[in-house]
Chains A and B, each alone.
Chain A
Amino acid sequence: MGKYFGKKLVVYLITFFFAVTLNWAVPRFVPGDPISMLLSRFVGLEGGRQILESHFVKTFGLDQPLLTQYFGFWKSLFTGDLGISISQYPKPVMDIISDSIIYDFIILVPAIILSWIIGNKLGAFSGVSKKTDSFLMPVFYFLTSSPYFWFALVVSYLLGIKAGFFPTSHAFSATLRPAWTWRFISDAFMHWFMPFLTLFLVQLGGWAIGMRNMIIYETSTNYSRYMESLGASKKLIRSYGFRNGILPQVTGLAISLGTVVSGAVLTQIVFSYPGLGYTMVEAIKRSDYFLIQGCFLFLIIMVLAANFIIDIVYMLVDPRVRHSYSGEV
C-alpha cells in the first residue's frame, strides 16, 4: 500500500516540478520578451516603482544568473507570493485566485461525480435491450462529441435566452453581495445551474458509452458463460459485468480530468462564470502575466489533487491493488 502511494506520489511531485519549471521558463525564453513588456507597464502605475524594486528583484531577479532566478521563483512560490496583478492592481495574485477557485469547485465536483455515477448506470441500462440501445446510443454519441463551449452556448440559448429560466452570465446578480441569506443562495443557484448542466451532460455520454461496451464485453467472457450454463439470470450476470466494468471507468475518470478541467475553462468563458479559467483568459486579454501563471499553477494543483483522490478510491474498490502492494498475495 505504501509502495503504491509512494510510486504515485513520485509521479505527482515530478509533474508539479515540471509544471513550475515550465511556468518559470515560458515567459523567459519565448520570443517577444514578455517580461520587459510587463516591466514597462508597471512603471506607469502609482507605486509601481516600489513593486518593481521589491517584487521583481525578488522573483525575477533579472540582474542575477538564471539558476538563482529559478530558485528565487520556487522560494516565492512556497511563501505564497505569486506576484501582484496588473489588471486588478494592487491586488495580490494569490487573493484573486482564492476568490475564484471556489467557483471551480462548485461546478466541477458535482458535475464530475454525478455524471460518472449516472452515466455508468445509464450505460448499463442501455445495453439491456436493442431497442433502448439504438435510441440512447446516438444521444450519447452526440453529447460526447459536443465541444464544451458549443454545448454551453446551446444550453444558454435554449434555457437562458429562449425559455428565460436561468440568467446567462456571472455567478450572482450584480445587485447582491455574497451572504448566507436565502435570497443570495437561490440567486447563486440559478446562476450555477447552466454551467453545471453543460459539464454534466457532455461528460455523461462518454461514461455511458464506456460502460455499455464494457458490459457487452464482460457478458461474453468465460465466467459469464459459465454462470449462464449454471442457470444464473441475465440480470445477475450483468450485475457482475457492471462490477468488473467499474474499474476501468475509475481509471478513465483519472485520465479524463485534464479534459474536464479544460472544458470547464471554456464553459466558464461562455457563462462569464468567474472561476480560474475565466480569470485566466481575462488575464490573457489584459496581458496580466503574473495572474496567468498563478491560474495555470492552481489548475495543475487542482488536477493533481483530484488524481490523488482517485488513486485512493481505486485502491479502495480494487482488492488486487490493495493486496498486491501490501504483500498479502
Chain B
Amino acid sequence: METKSIFWKKHENLYFAITSKKVLFGVGLFLLIFLLSAFGPLLTPYDYEEFAGAGYLPPSKEHFFGTTINGRDVYTQVVYGLRSTLLVGFLAGTIASIIGLLVGFLSGYHGGKVLDESLMMLTNIFMVIPSLALLIILSAYLPYRGIATQSIIVAATAWPWTARAVRSQTLSLKNQEFVNLSRISGLGTFKILTQDIAANMFSYVFMVYILQFNGTILASVGLEFLGLGPTRGVSLGLVMQNAVNWNALHLGMWWWTIIPGLILTLLIVSLYFINTGLDEVFNPRLREM
C-alpha cells in the first residue's frame, strides 16, 4: 500500500491520465475501432471485391452493414478500407509530425535569425495554400498512386501548423535557465534540442502528433472520396465514393454511405477525446472546470 502511493506520487500525470474520463473514453473507442480493423476481416467469409450475396440488402446477421448495389459486403469493404485509411493516416501523420517538429525546433531555437525567418516564410506559404487543391493537382497528374505516395503528398501539406506551434513553444522554453546553463557548458545545438527542449515538450509533442494523425486521415479520406487515393485496394473514402456514384442515398441505402463515414468520425472523435483529456492532465489549469 505504502509503495503504491509513492509510485502514484512519482507518476502523478499517469494517475490523472488513467482516471480521466475523457482519456478512458477516447482510448476505449480508439481500441475498439483499431481492433475492428485488426480482427474484423476474420469475422467475414467474403473478400471486399467478391460477390457476397444479393444486392441492396440492409444490415442483417449475414451482412453486418448490408450489401452494396452489386451485392458486395459493406462490412468487409469497411474493415479492409479502415486498414488502409489507418495506415495512410499513421504514415502521413508521422512524416508530417517529423517535418513540423524539425522545422519548428530549428526555427524556434534560432528565433529572429535568418534561418528562422526563412523557415517561417516557407511555413506560411504552405499554410496558405489550400491543401486539398494542392493534393488534387498533384494526384491528378500522377497516374499510379500507392499508399506510400499518398502518405507523402498528404504529409507534404500537413506539417505547417505543427511547425508554427512547436516554434512558439520552443521560443518560450529556450530562454529558461536550464537551457542557458547547457549552452554555457558548451553543449551542441542538437543535444540541447533533444535533451533540454524536446524532453520538456514531450507531452506537447504527443498531442501534436494526435492532431496531426487526425488531420492527415481527414485529408487522405477526402482524396479517396474524389477517387484520387491509392489506385489499388479499398479505402473508406473509396467505399463512400462508390456509394455516391451509385446514388445510394436516393435509393435508400444509407448503410452503404453513412456507416463507413460514421466509423471514421468516431475514430477521429476518440482521438480528440484522448487529446483534450491529456491536455487537462498536463495542464492543471484546464482541470479546474
Contact = CB atoms under 8 A, between A and B. Distances in A.
Interface of A: 11-12, 14-15, 18-19, 22-23, 26-27, 30-32, 34, 127, 130, 133, 141-142, 144-150, 153-154, 156-157, 161, 168, 209, 213, 216-217, 220, 255, 257-259, 261-262, 265-266, 269-270, 280-281, 284, 292-293, 295-296, 299-300, 303-304, 307
A262 B276 CA distance: 25
Contacts of B129: 15, 18-19, 258, 300, 303
B162 to A, nearest CB: 12
B223 to A, nearest CB: 10
Given A11-B124, A266-B222, A303-B130, A153 B240 contact: yes
A147 B226 contact: no
A150 B261 contact: yes
10 contacts: A14-B121, A15-B124, A141-B269, A149-B222, A209-B276, A217-B285, A220-B285, A269-B244, A299-B133, A307-B128
B141 interface: yes
B206 interface: no
B218 to A, nearest CB: 6
Interface of B: 121, 124-125, 127-134, 136-138, 140-143, 161, 214, 218-219, 221-222, 225-226, 228, 240, 244, 249-250, 252, 254, 257-258, 261-262, 264-265, 268-269, 272-273, 276, 279, 285-286, 288-289
A58 to B, nearest CB: 22
Contact of B289 (A30, A32, A133, A145): A133
Contacts of A168: 249-250
B130 A149 contact: no
A129 B222 CA distance: 36
Contacts of A270: 244
Nearest 5 pairs between A and B by C-beta? Answer: A150-B261, A262-B132, A145-B268, A30-B141, A261-B130
A32 B231 CA distance: 15
Of residues B128, B142, B258, B269, which shows the largest number of chain A Cβ atoms within 10 Å of its Cβ? B128
A119 B142 CA distance: 39
Contacts of B286: 213, 216-217
B130 A299 contact: yes
Contacts of A255: 127, 161
A268 to B, nearest CB: 11
Contacts of B142: 30-32
Chain B, interface SS category: helix
A142 B261 CA distance: 12
A280 B136 contact: yes
Contact of A147 (B125, B137, B258, B261): B261
Nearest to A306: B128
B141 A26 contact: yes
Given A141-B273, A147-B265, A149-B225, A284 B136 contact: yes
B265 A157 contact: no
A154 B249 CA distance: 9
A127 B268 CA distance: 23
A213 B286 CA distance: 7
B272 A141 contact: yes
B143 A269 contact: no
Given A141-B272, A266-B222, A157 B254 contact: yes
A209 B264 CA distance: 20
Contact of B132 (A26, A27, A145, A261): A261
Contacts of B222: 147-149, 262, 266
Nearest to A140: B272
A303 B254 CA distance: 34
A37 to B, nearest CB: 10
B141 A34 contact: yes
Nearest to A293: B137
A153 B261 contact: yes
Nearest to A260: B130
Contacts of B134: 22, 296
A26 B121 contact: no
Nearest to A287: B140
Contacts of A293: 137
A262 B244 CA distance: 19
B136 A157 contact: no
Given A259-B130, A303-B128, 16 more contacts: A15-B125, A15-B128, A22-B137, A27-B141, A32-B143, A130-B289, A145-B265, A147-B218, A150-B262, A157-B257, A168-B249, A217-B285, A266-B222, A292-B140, A296-B136, A296-B137
